[in-house]
Amino acid sequence: MAPHVRCGEGAVSWFAMHIQLRFCGLLRAGRNAGTALLVAAFVGSGFWGLLQPRTALAATTGSFQTTANPGGGSILTGTLGSSSLSAATAVLLRRVHTELGARPTVVQVAVNNRDHSLALLFTATRSSTPYTGIAIVTANAGSQAAGAALYDTSARFHTTVGPMMRRLQGMTVASASKTANGSSRRFAPPERLIPHAFSDGTGSISIPADWTLKVADGGSAIAVGPGGSAQVSYNMHFTGVDPSNPRAQMYLRTASPIARANLHGAVLPYTGDPVGSWTSMYQAMAKSELPPIHVTRSTSTGTATAIMSGIMGSGEKSVHFIAHVFLLPPNPNGMWQLTDSHVFVADAQFARQAETANAVLNSVRINFGALNAQQDAIRQSFQRQFEAEIANDQAQDAARQESTDEALASDRAAQEGMHRQAVAMENYSLDRAVVVNTATGVHSTVDSGFAAALVQGNSNYQQVPAAELLRGVDY
């Protein structure tokens, strides 16, 4: 049975946490979708940078270390003795074969050509027990490849993969913190976190007692460390208005300052580039208050989505950031969407706050049932409003049509009356009259004297008054 990931639980890392919300809607489609997106999470999670070969790893060919995960599962790490990605992957899979005592079968592969890396999902069966695992390999030219494999029984893998990812991150971050002279940057352990439920029941986040929760609803959150030392943002949304769109141009000409402020975004063209859009959006919204943004690393995680890291500003006031961004293209009105999750940590507080910020972001749990219900309620509200507006427009159209029909009928009646009166006047001036045979209903226009004699001498004839002249008969 293929494993799956539980949305909002067991976030793989503070990198992959950013892409979890984007993918979880697809994960609900079934377990097979979960296996595919689990590999995708590795590709976009930032583990590539952490697994770059370093002197802290053993320098001999095919050197491995196996670590048992306390909650279940095994973590295999090591150097793979080759700069070839395919050869290094083969070395790692042979080692997995040795460790498991069963040959792994590759189910899916995701390649990151930019970082010369790949992630693959594999299965194996040992003594009738199925196993599932993920392998990660990175191989840069001129250096030894490095890799890791995480595996457990298939029945348990979906619950242990998250803790194993976090444990692997801790192992590799410790190695990555080594400086050129071999010293290690010391990071303070994460502070004790206190859980806070979102006001609308769509999720929760845990923060230290001295942090401030700025946003906690609608499946989104913002938490700020003391004195602005750090900020954790999860699933925030911004609107861009493309000034090249004719409808957007009309909106910008007519919208009030309050309406434009409520956009929570900026007037920016849509480029489809998540990195450039993110930096432009933040700089435009902050105007001159935001220091220059220097993106030092970015990795595409799909169409119009990327994960990036870098520095804001310079010197003592610089801020380290990592962000995951995805874009939605413009609607017919020229409005496009940017969604971002990020961590900001001031350089001066990096050693003290980095692990805490990591823990805060990893603590986010989303109640997708409540979030979907909220979104459905919003959609239904808009639908009801839309339908009400349509019904009101239809009623107004019907009233206007009725008024028009009445006006036209009144005009026709007036025109008809004037025409009849004109015929009556013509008959009078020509000394004519209209008589009707009451027995047959036949109308005849005759000389007035003859009409008077006819009516007087025969009770079947009557003179027709002007108001009763018939159109198409008498005129």
Q: What is the pLDDT of residues 369-401, one digit of tens each?
A: 877 776 777 677 767 776 777 778 788 888 888
Sequential DSSP letters for 324-392:
EEEEE---TTSEEEEEEEEEEEEGGGHHHHHHHHHHHHHT-EE-HHHHHHHHHHHHHHHHHHHHHHHHH
Work out the average pLDDT over 241-269.
Answer: 83
pLDDT at 427 over 90: no
pLDDT at 429 over 80: yes
SS3 241: strand
The CA-CA-CA angle for residues 246, 249, 253, to 5°, reads 145
Confidence bin at 176 (pLDDT 50/70/90)? very low
Beta-strand ranges (E) seen in 116-160 are 117-126, 129-138, 146-153
Distance of alpha carbon 460 from alpha carbon 454, whole angstroms: 9
Q: What is the pLDDT of residues 96-127, one digit of tens each?
A: 999 999 999 999 888 877 667 888 999 999 99
Q: Which of residues 453 and 261 earns the better pLDDT score?
A: 453
pLDDT value, residue 287: 65
DSSP H/E element including 67: strand 64-68
Instruction: Please check whether residue 207 is in contact with residue 193, taking contact to mean a CB–CB distance below 8 angstroms.
Output: yes
List beta partners, residue 249.
Answer: none
The neighbour count for residue 228, using CB atoms within 10 Å, is 12
Tokens of 379: 């959609």
Please state the φ and ψ torsions of residue 103, each to the nearest 5 degrees: -75, 125
Q: What is the pLDDT of residues 78-93, one digit of tens each?
A: 888 766 888 889 989 9
pLDDT at 9 over 60: no
Q: Which of 11, 72, 69, 8 is nearest to 41 (CA)?
A: 11
pLDDT value, residue 168: 81
Instruction: Please check whether residue 320 is in contact with residue 230, taking contact to mean a CB–CB distance below 8 angstroms.
Output: no
Give whichever of 16-25, 176-185, 223-232 has the largest mean pLDDT.
223-232
Give whichever of 13-22, 40-49, 414-423 has the largest mean pLDDT.
414-423
Query: Average pLDDT, whole number, for the chain?
Result: 78
Give whichever of 178-192, 266-280, 286-300, 414-428 has the largest mean pLDDT.
266-280
pLDDT value, residue 226: 94
pLDDT value, residue 65: 84
Q: Which of 449, 455, 451, 456 is nearest to 474 (CA)?
A: 451
Work out the average pLDDT over 284-298.
Answer: 78
SS3 463: strand
Q: Which of 165, 185, 164, 182 is nearest to 174 (CA)?
A: 185
pLDDT at 45 over 60: no
- The residues, any chain, with a CB within 8 Å of residue 335's CB and separated by 6 or more, are 239, 240, 241, 242, 248
Q: What is the pLDDT of residues 401-420, one digit of tens each?
A: 888 888 888 888 888 888 88
Q: What is the pLDDT of residues 330-355, one digit of tens each?
A: 999 899 999 999 999 998 898 889 88
Instruction: Please check whether residue 35 is in contact with residue 107, taking contact to mean a CB–CB distance below 8 angstroms.
Output: yes
- Percentage of the chain lying above the pLDDT 90 cut: 27
pLDDT value, residue 2: 32
Residue 51 burial (10 A CB sphere; 0-12, 13-18, 19+): buried
SS3 320: strand
Task: Look at the block and give the residue holding tokens 């770059």.
Answer: 52
- The residues, any chain, with a CB within 8 Å of residue 74's CB and separated by 6 or more, are 66, 67, 68, 99, 150, 151, 152
SS3 34: helix
pLDDT value, residue 21: 32
Confidence bin at 185 (pLDDT 50/70/90)? low
Tokens of 55: 């002197």
pLDDT at 464 over 80: yes
pLDDT at 151 over 70: yes
Task: Look at the block and give the residue holding tokens 């270390």.
Answer: 65
C-alpha separations of 178 from 51, 95, 146, 169 in Å: 13, 27, 16, 15
SS3 233: strand
pLDDT value, residue 80: 82
Work out the average pLDDT over 43-52.
Answer: 38
Helices 350-362 and 17-27: angle between axes, nearest 10 degrees: 10
Tokens of 436: 């009707």
Distance of alpha carbon 374 from alpha carbon 378, whole angstroms: 6
Work out the average pLDDT over 62-85.
Answer: 82
pLDDT at 4 over 60: no
Task: Look at the block and give the residue holding tokens 């910008």.
Answer: 252
Confidence bin at 457 (pLDDT 50/70/90)? confident
pLDDT at 8 over 60: no
Tokens of 271: 């480029």
Segment among 155-164, 179-188, 233-242 with least mean pLDDT: 179-188
Distance of alpha carbon 365 from alpha carbon 221, whole angstroms: 10
Confidence bin at 46 (pLDDT 50/70/90)? very low
List beta partners, residue 312.
Answer: 293, 319
Instruction: Please check whether residue 380 is in contact with residue 368, taking contact to mean a CB–CB distance below 8 angstroms.
Output: no
Tokens of 77: 């790490």
